[in-house]
Amino acid sequence: MFLERSKLRKSGSHLLVFAVAACWSVADRCAADTAAPITLTFDEIPFQSVDGLVHAGVSFDFKIGGVDSTEAFYNSFGPGTLTFVDDPSLTGDSTGVLTLDFVVPTSVVEFGLALNTTDALSPGFRVELFSENLMSLGETPVNVSPTVGALGFSENRFEYLGVAVSRAIIRFDHQPGSFALDNLTFLPVPEPSAFGLGAFGLIAFLQGFRTNRNR
């Protein structure tokens, strides 16, 4: 009887080790899936208003005075080639508010933004991020500095890396005027896979099995 229980313990231990290895494999696979961020360079689809547009996992909304506006455009041209913006880009009226909703929450949000002014502005624009349940994480002011280009523009790059967010609202402090946004980068955070959840469930089952056998 003692020998049989010993064999069972050893067999259970082997199965537990296998299950743990399977879970680590799933975790590695998930990490690999999130290793490649997505960058929109705003030349992927034809020129069109972004208000109401859903493309590549991002839902766009643009409002002026709280009312939906068509005055912001995908695959448009503004400042030409700058440091953080390189046309085509997303251009619009800076009296408006641009909202980006990510279909899958992202742990990374990056983009370049230029305003049609030669002044250094503090801030030039502000970015408010929202958690997965749409709770505000606060607003970040971003300064802009003049840059060399065919036209007079000031620009900077916004960079965020942290907990997953599902929305970004961009407000502009140069009014009236125009803005150009380019190279929007985000990194979707996948939900746990069914296989991964099954593997962790297997660990719990085997642990319970070993406990019962050892009694």
Tokens 């503004």 sit on residue: 78
Q: How many domains does the chain have?
A: 2
| 180 and 204 fall within a common domain | no
Question: In this structure, are 168 and 141 located in the same domain?
Answer: yes
Q: Could you tell me if 43 and 106 lie in one domain?
A: yes
CA distances from 133 to 17, 57, 127, 161, 165 (A): 36, 17, 18, 18, 9
Indicate if 180 and 103 belong to the same structural domain. yes
User: What's the mean per-residue pLDDT of the chain?
Assistant: 82
Q: What is the pLDDT of residue 190?
A: 81
Domain membership of residue 72 as a residue range: 38-188
Query: 16, 7, 11, 6: which is closest to 205 by C-alpha?
Result: 16
Please provide the size of the chain in residues. Answer: 215
pLDDT of residue 8: 42
Q: Answer yes or no: do 65 and 81 share one domain.
A: yes
**Of 107-121, 142-156, 184-198, which gets the smallest average pLDDT?**
184-198
User: Higher-confidence residue: 78 or 25?
Assistant: 78
Contact 165, 109 (CB under 8 A): yes
Residue 213 pLDDT > 90: no
- Does residue 146 contact residue 118 with C-beta atoms inside 8 Å? yes
**Of 195 and 43, the one with more pLDDT:** 43
Q: Are residues 174 and 69 in the same domain?
A: yes
Domain CATH code at residue 142: 2.60.120
Please tell me the distance from the alpha carbon of residue 188 to that of residue 172, in angstroms, as a whole number: 26
Q: What is the pLDDT of residue 151?
A: 73
**How far is Cα 139 from Cα 145, in angstroms, rounded to an integer?**
20
pLDDT tens figures, 104-137: 999 999 999 999 999 999 999 999 999 999 999 9
Q: Collapsing DSSP states into helix, strand and coil, what is residue 56?
A: coil
